[in-house]
């Protein structure tokens, strides 16, 4: 009876920790505007739904092995959450870069998702990304991904290895790559404007470029941003899909 009870507790613990790691780091679910008690209830409900399906697949684990299982399953959930949040981090990075280029770097507002101060353009980018996230139903994709992760990687079998650590570090490169891609149109327009203003300053040193630069780059950046905004739904759908695929790849690496 004790062994059976220990197996049940171990199965629930393995599933619940993976779900909890997702709740802490995945976009939308980890938002600061969602009360912690709601996240806890949601994690318990998801665990209760998944346990009848995947609980029997958990290999018997002794009580002495629980600490290692806790660490590995929590890391798997965190890895899925980080992989799916890369798009939001990239959108924020693009906004930070464009804030400097467009002259809005000194204007900070409270980001509703993270409850920290951020530049206007970065907050706008992340808010639009969140709207697209909910419109495309990516939160359902993430829930399906956490369920399918138990097929790729049965509960209690995850291992922390150098390949997984390398894949998580690679997330930084992905964020930088996506951020530059998102910012590319406006960044290119403002950099060309800087180049033209530099040439004009050489031709006419009396020209007040310090005043003229922000007056030109700000409306130009907003104009280019407005034109490229129509391509965002298709672009972000591809980004979100690739992030889910990368999260599944992490599951294979953690075997």
Q: What is the pLDDT along the chain (255 residues), one digit of tens a residue?
A: 444 666 677 778 778 888 888 888 888 888 877 888 888 888 889 888 888 887 766 666 666 666 777 777 777 788 888 888 889 989 999 998 898 888 787 767 666 666 667 788 888 898 899 999 999 999 888 888 888 888 777 776 777 777 877 887 887 788 989 999 999 999 999 999 888 888 887 777 777 777 777 788 888 988 999 999 999 999 999 999 998 888 888 877 777
Report long-range pairs for 233-238 (Cβ below 8 Å, ≥24 apart). 233/132, 233/135, 233/136, 235/182, 236/87, 236/129, 236/132, 236/133, 236/136, 237/132, 237/136
Q: For the chain, which residues make up each domain, given as ranges?
A: 2-253
Which pLDDT does position 28 carry in this prediction? 85
Which pLDDT does position 58 carry in this prediction? 66
Which pLDDT does position 164 carry in this prediction? 76
Q: 66 and 58 in contact (C-beta within 8 Å)?
A: no
Which pLDDT does position 2 carry in this prediction? 43
* Helix, strand, coil % over all residues of the chain, rounded to 5: 80, 0, 20
- 235-248 burial, b at 16+ Cβ within 10 Å, e below that, comes to bbeebbeebbebbe
- CA 207, CA 3: separation in Å to the nearest integer? 82
β-strands 117-119, 108-110 pairing? antiparallel
Strand, helix or coil at 242?
A: helix
Which pLDDT does position 65 carry in this prediction? 67
């Amino acid at each position: 009876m004790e062994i059976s009870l220990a197996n049940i507790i171990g199965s629930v613990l393995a599933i619940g920790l993976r779900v909890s790691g997702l709740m802490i780091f995945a976009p939308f679910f980890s938002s600061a505007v969602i009360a912690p008690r709601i996240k806890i209830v949601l994690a318990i409900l998801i665990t209760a739904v998944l346990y009848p399906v995947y609980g029997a697949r958990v290999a018997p684990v002794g009580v002495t092995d629980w600490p290692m299982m806790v660490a590995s399953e929590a890391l798997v959930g965190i890895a899925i959450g980080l992989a799916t949040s890369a798009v939001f981090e990239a959108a924020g990075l693009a906004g930070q870069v464009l804030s400097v280029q467009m002259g809005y770097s000194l204007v900070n507002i409270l980001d509703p998702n993270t409850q920290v101060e951020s530049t206007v353009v970065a907050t706008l980018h992340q808010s639009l990304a969140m709207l697209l996230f909910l419109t495309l139903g990516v939160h359902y994709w993430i829930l399906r991904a956490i369920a399918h992760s138990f097929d790729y990687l049965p509960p209690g079998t995850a291992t922390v290895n150098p390949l997984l650590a390398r894949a998580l570090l690679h997330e930084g490169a992905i964020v930088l790559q996506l951020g530059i891609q998102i910012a590319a149109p406006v960044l290119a327009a403002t950099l060309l404007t800087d180049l033209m203003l530099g040439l004009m300053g050489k031709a006419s040193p009396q020209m007040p470029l310090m005043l003229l630069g922000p007056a030109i780059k700000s409306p130009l950046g907003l104009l280019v941003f407005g034109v490229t905004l129509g391509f965002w739904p298709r672009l972000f759908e591809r980004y979100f899909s690739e992030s889910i695929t990368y999260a599944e790849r992490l599951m294979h690496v953690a075997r």
